[in-house]
Structure 1
């Protein structure tokens, strides 16, 4: 080997190793610039507007009136006292409002799809369209919050659950419209298409706080952070086990802090997304970026997922100090395919404790083997201080394409005590492993006999 080339190679490897260190200063910078919402002193208790927490009365009018009063007063706090408050239809936020659900209080939404008409501008699996209103919906609002120690129940396990088996027509049409760049005004779904609404969606919002509440029984994704920024989600808990009950979905989102969350979901705990296919690539100026996930307890299908709808790109994601409290299929899951394009880069994961999983760390550019022509760029992915008791399938999986390799992967201080398959590594380059143990650690070699 040429001496100059060898020295250059050593410098590159040394630089990559240094760059793989968890960037605490960048995390601090993101967290410090996220702004918490600020509210006027005005407060209104919904009981004073005639709301009844008897689990039977429809309190839609009282909640609408409370929101209108807040708008008249340039914002305020809506207090929901102890009781079970049935609402036949959505809550639509205005700016500068804190919906405070007190301990012992529950908001229970109806499951009649007619209650969530007329259609609103929303998104469904990465495509912008008109559909049923999310149960709690904020569009182009600033300084908004859902707080308190109460519960939001989406009643998703009955009527909404039946939509899953009937959604193919609507799903396929939405993707066709995405690929054909159909005019937004023609993307009308709702009745007859069976696309379930999200439980909570913040769309084009800024300075958001979701704190300490409990989320149960969502029709679809639980908390969707769409084209929004400066977001804090902390101290919330879940028990939402219906189809596609992702816990938190940041999509085209930036400057997000997710911390001290206790998940128990029927799908991904956190799924970072950035639009689907042609529409996503057309929005490449607004990738999902600057997302911090820390001190969370995972339980459900997957812990942290990047993709598969990520066509505008995902970058600068920092996950640390998380653990499982029950089953996960996969711990950290990076997934995309040749329909998506875009990129996933600058991802840092450290101090993760996993119990029993199917796969511990999984990175694939060929999710479901779908698509062609738009292979994604996956690079600069760094894992450190990861422990896992058992992987019933694979410890570490890396799957790129021959012509588009996954690049610059560092694995440091990884211990998976048991795995059916240790490592599957194909079409990747510059994979650096330091102190990686899968199965029983080797000791000093035995002496010859």
Structure 2
């Protein structure tokens, strides 16, 4: 039938069980390197400094005073009690500070772009620029945390959302600046431009904890881990449905643990990145690496994504025991093209439960059909095992290499897609091995010829 595929692929091209084992010892070494932030005992409650949780009054002066007091005391905890606190401008962290947002407390940021000036050094889709400040921003900090059971609301659905339709020229300009190596000091956006800021960005930071908070209504990417290391992200909840609301974006990041997250956002749940094109390749000494993702519930556009901005490289990623809650466009998605360069390698994915998707596993070196062909990426050594999917509306497994740079050493072990419109497409590859791969209804032993058959 046209829309039902009954296909059994039990292919044992070679015995790779040992190579495809999930390297738990490597995961343990990463976890041992990750340090939780050490926060001094000093504590200040924002209401003691004049903040009113009435959803109307501007609480930013009180939050700024609290951060200044923490800096004076070499760090401490800023407590946000029950209430709705409107901030007409960003929170800028200093080192050794925990922002504790208690249950039934909400920080709600204004959506007036002028409140996020002066510009700060940041990144936008893989290119370093000066732009509006992220709503929560930490630059060059150590030992910082955002915890509690409260909510951070980016108010991104009105003014910031209107920027999406106007961003095209600025997006193109960032890419031209990247490709032409324009001096960083001349990459100025902000007022008069339309590049939305991230909700939370940690930039050049170390020993980071984000735990148990709820993230809502981000203007752009929700949580951006930029050039940072020793990071723990756990227990978060999402309700972020604006355009480009990626959940978590590690970029040039290392030693990262992401666990026990309930995603519900209108783009990639987790997108691992490492800079775009010329600029990314120039930063090849800082790939995104040593990232552990486990025990997460996926809901949104895509589950776990590598790329497409990954020109400094992505390696040593370990994804384990995750599942979907509802529909995803793609479950496991690796994307790059011939402008990127860099590499995606040593990726281990196991124990993934997917409900309904468009495509279950999608690995492409020809994303969007873009690229001059001068900088194909090296995609290799990817191990996918124990992946179950109920239904793929389109294709169960897609692996697309680039003609001049084949995708290689891809290992599929114990993959089952119960229903799919199309089985698999594998192009421009080398050494793709499969064992116990089932698309459609599992075949049994062949039946014998019927006695009624005439010759």
Q: TM-score range by the shorter chain?
A: over 0.9
- 1:335-372 CA-to-partner distances (Å, cap 9, x unmatched) read 00001000000000000000000000000000000012
Whether 2:444 is the aligned partner of 1:443: answer yes
Aligned residues: 437
Determine the C-alpha separation between the residues in 2 that align with 1:201 and 1:219: 12
**CA-CA distance at 1:201 after TM superposition:** 0.1
Quote the residue 2:393 is aligned against: 392
Q: Which residue number corresponds to residue 321 of structure 2?
A: 321
Q: CA deviation at 1:401?
A: 1.7
Matches of 2:394 and 2:340, distance apart in 1 = 27
Any unmatched runs of 5+ in structure 1? 1-11
CA separation in 2, counterparts of 1:37 and 1:346?
A: 29
> What is the Cα deviation at residue 403 of structure 1?
2.1
Q: Matches of 1:271 and 1:237 in 2, distance apart?
A: 17
5 Å-filtered alignment, 1:209-358, equals 209-358=209-358
Superposed, which structure 2 residues align to 1:11-410 within 5 Å? 14=15, 16-372=16-372, 373-410=374-411
* Deviations 1:216-264, CA, capped at 9 Å, x for gaps: 0000000000000000000010000000000000000000000000000
3-state DSSP of counterpart to 1:419: strand
Q: Secondary structure at the match of 1:410?
A: strand
Contact 2:376 2:404 in 1 (8 A): no
CA deviation string 1:304-325 (max 9, x = no partner): 0000000000000000000001
* CA distance, structure 2, for counterparts of residue 364 and residue 193 of structure 1: 32
Q: Which stretches of structure 1, 4 residues or more, deviate above 6 A after TM superposition?
A: none
Q: Secondary structure of 1:194's match?
A: coil
Q: Does 1:431 align with 2:435?
A: no
The alignment partner of 1:262 has SS state of: coil
Distance 1:387 1:18 in 2: 21
Larger RCO, structures 1/2 (Cα 8 Å, 6+ apart): 2
For residues 250-297 of structure 1, what are the alpha-carbon distances to aligned partners after superposition, in whole Å with 9 as ceiling and x for unaligned? 000000000000000100000000000000000000000000000000
Structure 2 SS opposite 1:19 = coil
SS at match of 2:328: coil
- Alpha-carbon distance in structure 2 between the residues aligned to 1:112 and 1:326: 34
The TM-score normalised by the length of structure 2 is 0.95
> How far did residue 402 of structure 1 move?
2.5
Render the CA deviation track for 1:44-67: whole Å, top value 9, x for unaligned: 000100100000000110000000
Q: CA deviation at 1:193?
A: 1.6
Determine helix, strand or coil for the equivalent of 1:269: strand
CA distance in 1, matches of 2:417, 2:17: 22
Q: The residue matched to 2:181 in structure 1 has which SS?
A: coil
Following TM superposition, by how much is the alpha carbon of 1:17 offset from its aligned partner in structure 2, in angstroms?
A: 4.1
Q: Distance in 1 between matches of 2:438 and 2:76?
A: 54
Structure 2 segments unaligned to the other structure (5+ residues)? 1-12, 451-455
Deviations 1:360-417, CA, capped at 9 Å, x for gaps: 0000000000012100000000100000000000000000022211000110010000
2:28 is paired with a residue of what secondary structure? helix
Shift of 1:13: 5.1
Distance 2:404 2:153 in 1: 47
